[in-house]
Amino acid sequence: MKNIETLIDEGGDISIGPVAGLTCVAAATDGYNCLAMRVRRDGEKLNVLMKRLDKAIGLAWSDDVFTDEVNGPA
């Protein structure tokens, strides 16, 4: 999960926990922007959620695509 590692090494952070009535959300921020918010799927292993978050961080950096599964499409 190199993107998560790089994010943390550069001062960003991730958080995992309940948000807005959802039981488990993984979010990543770089200190200025929320790069990604992923909702844990029913029966999904935590390591799979983290891999999906890692991929979403990469998309934010490479393509300016910010994943938000909490708020839905704008």
Domain ranges of the chain: 2-68
10-53 residue pLDDT tens:
999 999 999 989 999 999 999 999 999 999 999 999 999 999 99
Strands (E), the chain: 13-19, 22-29, 34-39, 67-68
Whole-model pTM?
0.94
Q: Which pLDDT belongs to residue 73? A: 65
Distance CA 58, CA 2 (A): 9
